[in-house]
Structure 1
Amino acid sequence: MSRWLTLLCFFMLVSGCTAYATHQFDNLFGVENPSNRFSNVSEENEAFYNEQVKPILETRCVSCHACYDAPCQLKLTTSAGIERGGSKDLVYDGTRLLAATPTRLFIDAQNTQEWRKKGFHPVLNERGQSPSANLQGSLLYRSIALRKKQGEFTQPILSDDYDFSLAREQQCSSIEAYSQFEKDYPNWGMPYGLPALTNNEYGILTRWLAKGGKMPAAKALPLSLQRQVELWESRLNGDDLKSQLISRYIYEHLYLYRLYIDDGEDYRFQLVRSKTPTGEPVDRIATRRPYDHPGVDKVYYRLVVDHETKVQKNHIPMQLDEARYTRWISYFYGEDYQVTKDPGYSREVATNPFKVFREIPSHARYRFLLDHAQNTIMAFIKGPVCRGQVAVNVINEQFWVYFLEPELGQNKTSADYLEDQVQGLDLPAVGTSNTLPLASWVIFSEQQKSYLSAKADLIESDVAKKIPLDLNILWDGDGNNQNAVLTIFRHFDNASVVRGMVGQHPKTSWIIDYPLLERIHYLLVAGFDVYGNIGHQLVTRLYMDFLRMEGEMNFLMLLPKKDREEIRKYWYRDVSQTIKNYIFSDYIKMDRDTQIQYQTNDRQAELYEKLRQNLANVLDYSYDLEQSDLSSAHIKALHKLQTVQGGGLAFLPDVATILITKQGDPAEVLSLIHNKAHSNISSLLGEASTRLPAEDSVTIVKGVLGDYPNVLMQVEESELINWVDQVSRLKSRKDYTVLLDDFGVRRTHPNFWLISDAIANLNSIDRPRESGILDYNRLENR
């Protein structure tokens, strides 16, 4: 009772202090109102913002304040996010019992006043506009001033006063409570736990904020681009049922993408649903999921400019050009078929793409997804689901993904058979965003067992036996598409997907067919609600276990029948009896043997090399060390490091981003990926108990791989061999500390921002379309 009384007294004290501070602010500067900020921006102030202020915000602030996981939901990627401000409510909350109300920028509110009603507080002064008020009433100014007051770091590792964990309790103070915040957390100015802004940067932001933090409106699209927008919108808004269903299919798969309609980098677009047609202002339809009922009789698919700073962790680029449109036409209109009805948006139908889009041939849908397969997979990596260990501990640390040859699906009997089966496969979103996990798990488990049993029967059927189980069952990218094989890396609580067979031979691999690819998208992308309750999030993760096992089962078809069970046992060492019963049950087994002829005892390794040779013409080699300007001796040493296993590798972070310099000048970027070994990945909780550090390895690639570096390093090219030797000889945490002392660019390093800028510049040069600002929320402090 005394504890609750103490808490109540504390709450009343804080509330009283905040109310008093509000009264004081009101007396000094007037009542807070967003309309106080509305004014025209002069050409001089517009140029000042675009040329001097915006670059500082992008290079010093956006690296932590972007996307759903921006602290306090403060998104500094766009003027709309800055005007919206911050909130104490969490987006990522793995404990919520009921789904939260969405707060998506540009979607769930249309102006600052609406955001205030949703509980967001300003970070710019919204009282009377004067230099004094604009600084004292601005959280942005007060936070950078607090960091400036703190001065330079005096020790390489920050004290326990700082909390860098993803699940940390956030202190989302309003301006009225910030004086108390400054007393309670004197070291928590911005940039948080990183070197302060330079005097010049601080001065620029101070001048901008003193003038009221004015941000110019976005410029109108050039006429040439506007015409391209109108052309694409006309293509996506046909009146007949067939065109409408095809456009709905395209939208439900591309709505997270950043679309380009010219060769430049200045303008990116997003595909949205609107209540209004081309020629009228976009009236965006706001629903939790892209297939929820739009609330209007007619949906229009529109292209809106993406004004946000390009952030690599959620950037999924796609070029819309005539070649792509020609391919889409061939996929969706190459066969003679009819669409006889609008499937509607009822939950039982809309959550199952096999019901909604059944009248579009499955071969057309599969071809469409394969055309940009990296993006299709990347959407579940870079979409909202990817944040947090529970979301991605369903996949191995590194594995290769191949795809079933789409022309095999032209066998009408096989295609129709699978379509009939997947009609009965519900996905977790059918239970809305509030789900009871245990009851749902049992239902989904039984449905998946039934589907796998039917699929095994199909593979054993006389029709299927006419197709040899050899390398020809895999899509070869039609001889020119580099999406034919992908590599996925897991970095503990996030992941990356790149094209090619990157890294060493993985423990497992997947072969994905159309039903599996579609279910992954509707499970982890279209059907996933980041604002959903704990049940929805857990069932999503548990269901992905089924899909992973299915992809692995497909891969095992190419290995001799006699090897399959032993390999499965190795993949799932020490699993529970329940998982064993599932993995080794009859409905996941197939009696057909592969037609591939093997010559060695390590048939899995031999298969990988056969696949590499078979797909050589479409492999992406851009991450290979041989594509760098390093000497052959350096490349040889780096390859040797990739043969090291276990030992002190366990002390390495998940991702290290390494700047290689020549006499101090930036020359190359390398990425070191720590592949953490597990006995199995079938356990939702207790991952530490499945870790096998003795089997750990590292992959080293050219360029930036991983959107969330855990540490930055700088290695002079003449010291690269020494760096390799130190990494390979790691035996203890102390050894890793010495490595950082010699080469690390810790959070506290005086040259941190200089190194960060150099890495960003090389990343942009290396991959201008795919690159973006890296996220620093996972930088370590050790």
Structure 2
Amino acid sequence: MSLRASFASTIAFMLLPLAAQAAGISYSKDIQPIFTDKCVACHACYDSPCQLNLSAAEGAQRGANKLPVYDASRTKAQEPTRLFLDAHGADAWRRKGFWSVLDGRGNQAALMARMIDLGHSHPLVPNAKIADGLDLSINRRNQCPTPESIDDFVEQNPRSGMPFAVTGLSDKQYATLKAWLAQGAPVDEQPMQPSAAEARQVTDWENFLNQRGARETLVSRWLYEHLFLAHLYFSENGTPGHFFQVVRSRTPSGLPIDPVAARRANEDPGTEFYYRLWPIQGVIVHKTHITYPLSSAKLAHVRELFFSGNWQADKVPGYGPKHRANPFETFAAIPAQARYQFMLDNAEYFVRTFIRGPVCRGQIATDVIRDNFWTLFQDPRHDLYLTDPVFREKATPLLALPGLIDDMGQMLLQWTTYRDKRNEYEKLRLIAYQGAPVPTWADIWRGNDNALLSVFRQYDSASVRKGLIGGVPQTIWWMDYPLLERTYYGLVANFDVFGNVSHQAQTRLYFDLIRNGAEQNFLRLMPVAARGPLLDDWYQNSGKLKMWMDYQNLDYGMPTGLDLPAVGAKNAFASQLLTRYASLNARPDPINLCRNGGCYRSGVVRPLQDAEQAFSRLVSRPAAGLKVIEQFPEATMLRVELADGKREIYTVLRNRAHSNVAFMLGESLRYQPGLDTLTIYPGVLSSYPNFMFDLKAGEAEDFVAALEKVQVQADFDKVVERWGIRRSNPQFWFYFHDLDAYLRETEPAEAGILDMNRYENL
């Protein structure tokens, strides 16, 4: 259709009476696609402004609420408001304080209509920077107008219409939404149903999880507590885009699911229940899309893993605070080898749950980790918690986790009690390992491509990917089973996103100890003479005070079995790791780990090789010598177009440097901006793009040269003017959703709508 014909069609549609327009409007075919195109990028999940979730009809009908989910200052836990779980239907949500955005009142149009009217009547200046006066930060105070306050809001905030501070709805989208709202916002949404092949596999897994007997019940409970956050999919005969979550239901297989809405996955359900695989409804968004594959081979492996031995369980523990605080005691009957191996088999999933899950949102939540580090795992054959029953028996009572008692008056006592238990465990562990053989390369697990992971923090969010990505990081984690399991229970199973400041502070402080434990475990691989200097580098200035106050002393006695030099030991280790584990490295990285001058992937076309060679000039250089780094946001996307119409996407991550990450507050005091660096890697490495550049492959050299010349803001502004995709770009949504399209093409199981709440106004 020509542009003129398309315009005429839109005008004709808009001139139709609203009732006539709405008569043919389908929510599922017409309305949800508009929400998905222009609204879900902001309005989804817990950080949706005013809790307005437009990823499904249930969210649109639920409406808005002024209480934020992410609140690090509340002194009392908040009532959960999880979509599809904590209430059902508009009336139930009204009783929980939500108000409608779809219903009009008398002659007053619906809130959504008023907000899109406001946005449509105040379009942005194309390609211009958003004018001062609009707070675009993720931590902005959302005003959340109600039907009673909408008139005042419109008068006082003329530029706050929807979509907020970004290129808006097309005329046709606007007219369709207005017509639908005028008709009363009818919904015809049909829930996703599994295919016949999926239904058979659902039955197999539900039958397995609902076996009776103490052993079987205990294993199913452990599996549920480790998979409740997963978006499960069937890698054999599964329908693309179909995902499931395991829930506890009051109804058995074959009947409609009636989920138990417990606050945490390991809380008492209060009723008889069955484990069920519930189809996930609504639009998949990348930030919550933590996938886990199921198959017949996986089911057979799990059966073998947990039930091949002759271990016994005479009873199933309860759900009291003691059992929830210490999963090592609760599930002690299940062989520790089986538990750890299950987690190692899909280690990326488990690290994702606490690096990208609900716990990891907000600067105070993420400043416990470095901006980039690698994660390795201790081989089960050399993990003393698994192999030494005497050590395991002594260690288990010391591995309990804080945070379940959130009384504000007990916060300090709770923290010091659990910190002291942890340090007592570390002393016990130190002695045990001093009596074990020295660590060698065989101690580092290499079972599959989950063995090597890269973690990146983007200030108030974080991400993890398989493979060794980026330059050699400042720190490396080496996790054993007690470290991995405690991290999971502390940050996932026991974490309550609706909890109060006491719960959140205890969780954050204990994770600080976990990080330190993983770092110090890695130092066991280093020569004795190298350990002190490395630790001093990681814990500079105030970090030394934290070492004295809260951390266990470093092991300076046990030598390493790795042949590494005392000077440059970590870099030598990284070099050998890249060589020895090359077959398991899911994402080789010649751009950031350049060898022999060829800083590009050999398997891509020559124009992309030339572009990657140019990009490599920007990586592994400190901001003190490359001033443009000061201008870069946390996660920037580069869209590189080829002559044949194809394109490649690269992510530019800004790695901020700190003297230490040992404290919950005062991060700016420990920031070392002159040491910031960039990582550039093909693919989408963040759920939260902060900005985007679009360039031809042949322009890569000019683009890099322009960045290298940047000294001040005005210089960077010129780069943005030439190649940047601003929020006001008329084609903004095409470019933004092309990132989603790229994910569907390259990693279809991982694809989901990205979040634009952090897209900056450059």
Once residues 380 and 171 of structure 1 are traced to their aligned partners in structure 2, the CA distance between those partners, rounded to angstroms, is: 30
Once residues 569 and 69 of structure 1 are traced to their aligned partners in structure 2, the CA distance between those partners, rounded to angstroms, is: 37
Q: Secondary structure at the match of 1:631?
A: helix
Could you tell me which residue of structure 1 aligns to residue 142 of structure 2?
170
CA contact (8 A) 1:714 1:743 kept: yes
In structure 2, the CA distance between the partners of 1:271 and 1:265, relative to structure 1 (3 Å rule), is same
1:577-596 deviation digits (Å, cap 9, x = unpaired): 5313157754x424111111
Structure 1 counterpart of 2:459, one-letter code: F
Match of 1:351 among 325, 335, 338: 325
Higher mean C-alpha displacement, 246-255 vs 155-164 = 155-164
In structure 2, the CA distance between the partners of 1:370 and 1:269, relative to structure 1 (3 Å rule), is same
Match of 2:345 among 368, 371, 374: 371
In structure 2, the CA distance between the partners of 1:704 and 1:415, relative to structure 1 (3 Å rule), is farther
Q: Secondary structure at the match of 1:170?
A: coil
CA contact (8 A) 2:36 2:55 kept: yes
Could you tell me which residue of structure 1 aligns to residue 202 of structure 2?
229
CA contact (8 A) 1:363 1:410 kept: no
Q: Secondary structure at the match of 2:482?
A: helix
Could you tell me which residue of structure 2 aligns to residue 247 of structure 1?
220
| Structure-to-structure mapping, 1:111-126, within 5 angstroms | 111-125=89-103
CA contact (8 A) 1:435 1:536 kept: no
In structure 2, the CA distance between the partners of 1:567 and 1:768, relative to structure 1 (3 Å rule), is same
| Structure-to-structure mapping, 1:751-770, within 5 angstroms | 751-770=731-750
Once residues 458 and 359 of structure 1 are traced to their aligned partners in structure 2, the CA distance between those partners, rounded to angstroms, is: 22
Match of 2:165 among 193, 199, 214: 193
**What CA RMSD, in Å, does the superposition of the two structures yield over aligned residues?**
2.1
CA contact (8 A) 1:456 1:590 kept: no
Gaps of 5+ in 2: 1-21, 591-599
Identity of aligned residues (%): 34
Matched, 1:78 2:56: yes
Could you tell me which residue of structure 2 aligns to residue 634 of structure 1?
611
Could you tell me which residue of structure 2 aligns to residue 476 of structure 1?
446
Once residues 413 and 622 of structure 1 are traced to their aligned partners in structure 2, the CA distance between those partners, rounded to angstroms, is: 33
Could you tell me which residue of structure 2 aligns to residue 289 of structure 1?
264
CA contact (8 A) 1:657 1:712 kept: yes
Match of 2:416 among 442, 445, 450: 442
1:439-482 deviation digits (Å, cap 9, x = unpaired): 22211221111010000011012xx22xx4111101112xxx21
1:370-401 deviation digits (Å, cap 9, x = unpaired): 11100101001222111100001000010000
Could you tell me which residue of structure 2 aligns to residue 98 of structure 1?
76
CA contact (8 A) 2:72 2:500 kept: yes
Structure 2 counterpart of 1:243, one-letter code: E
| Structure-to-structure mapping, 1:617-766, within 5 angstroms | 617-621=583-587, 626=601, 628-629=604-605, 630-647=607-624, 648=627, 649-662=629-642, 665=645, 667-766=647-746
In structure 2, the CA distance between the partners of 1:444 and 1:734, relative to structure 1 (3 Å rule), is farther
CA contact (8 A) 1:418 1:455 kept: no
1:253-299 deviation digits (Å, cap 9, x = unpaired): 11011111343223211100112211222221111111111112x33
Could you tell me which residue of structure 2 aligns to residue 9 of structure 1?
none
Higher mean C-alpha displacement, 74-83 vs 747-756 = 747-756
In structure 2, the CA distance between the partners of 1:313 and 1:413, relative to structure 1 (3 Å rule), is closer
Q: Secondary structure at the match of 1:469?
A: coil
Matched, 1:108 2:86: yes
In structure 2, the CA distance between the partners of 1:511 and 1:232, relative to structure 1 (3 Å rule), is same
CA contact (8 A) 1:315 1:382 kept: no
Structure 1 counterpart of 2:305, one-letter code: Y
Higher mean C-alpha displacement, 225-234 vs 714-723 = 225-234
Higher mean C-alpha displacement, 599-608 vs 179-188 = 599-608
Could you tell me which residue of structure 1 aligns to residue 180 of structure 2?
208
CA contact (8 A) 1:510 1:555 kept: yes
Higher mean C-alpha displacement, 387-396 vs 101-110 = 101-110
Once residues 272 and 665 of structure 1 are traced to their aligned partners in structure 2, the CA distance between those partners, rounded to angstroms, is: 44
1:581-616 deviation digits (Å, cap 9, x = unpaired): 157754x42411111112583111010111111211
Could you tell me which residue of structure 2 aligns to residue 596 of structure 1?
562
1:698-749 deviation digits (Å, cap 9, x = unpaired): 0101011111111111112121111112223332222222221221111122
Once residues 642 and 181 of structure 2 are traced to their aligned partners in structure 1, the CA distance between those partners, rounded to angstroms, is: 39
1:465-522 deviation digits (Å, cap 9, x = unpaired): 2xx4111101112xxx210110000000000000000010000000000010000011
Q: Secondary structure at the match of 1:484?
A: coil
Higher mean C-alpha displacement, 766-775 vs 66-75 = 766-775
In structure 2, the CA distance between the partners of 1:267 and 1:733, relative to structure 1 (3 Å rule), is same
Match of 2:113 among 119, 124, 141: 141
CA contact (8 A) 2:529 2:566 kept: no
Higher mean C-alpha displacement, 709-718 vs 404-413 = 404-413
Q: Secondary structure at the match of 2:450?
A: helix
Higher mean C-alpha displacement, 140-149 vs 493-502 = 140-149
Higher mean C-alpha displacement, 659-668 vs 488-497 = 659-668
Could you tell me which residue of structure 1 aligns to residue 462 of structure 2?
495
Could you tell me which residue of structure 2 aligns to residue 457 of structure 1?
431
Once residues 604 and 157 of structure 2 are traced to their aligned partners in structure 1, the CA distance between those partners, rounded to angstroms, is: 45
In structure 2, the CA distance between the partners of 1:571 and 1:596, relative to structure 1 (3 Å rule), is same
Offset at residue 155 of structure 1 (A): 7.2
Match of 1:63 among 41, 59, 63: 41
CA contact (8 A) 1:623 1:702 kept: no
1:660-716 deviation digits (Å, cap 9, x = unpaired): 123594511111000111111112111111111221110101011111111111112
Could you tell me which residue of structure 1 aligns to residue 251 of structure 2?
276
Once residues 536 and 764 of structure 1 are traced to their aligned partners in structure 2, the CA distance between those partners, rounded to angstroms, is: 38
Matched, 1:303 2:277: yes
TM-score of the pair, normalised by structure 1: 0.89
Q: Secondary structure at the match of 2:149?
A: helix
In structure 2, the CA distance between the partners of 1:691 and 1:397, relative to structure 1 (3 Å rule), is same
Structure 2 counterpart of 1:348, one-letter code: K
Once residues 663 and 181 of structure 1 are traced to their aligned partners in structure 2, the CA distance between those partners, rounded to angstroms, is: 48
CA contact (8 A) 1:433 1:532 kept: no
Give the number of aligned pairs.
724
1:613-632 deviation digits (Å, cap 9, x = unpaired): 12111111277652654433
Once residues 143 and 623 of structure 1 are traced to their aligned partners in structure 2, the CA distance between those partners, rounded to angstroms, is: 46
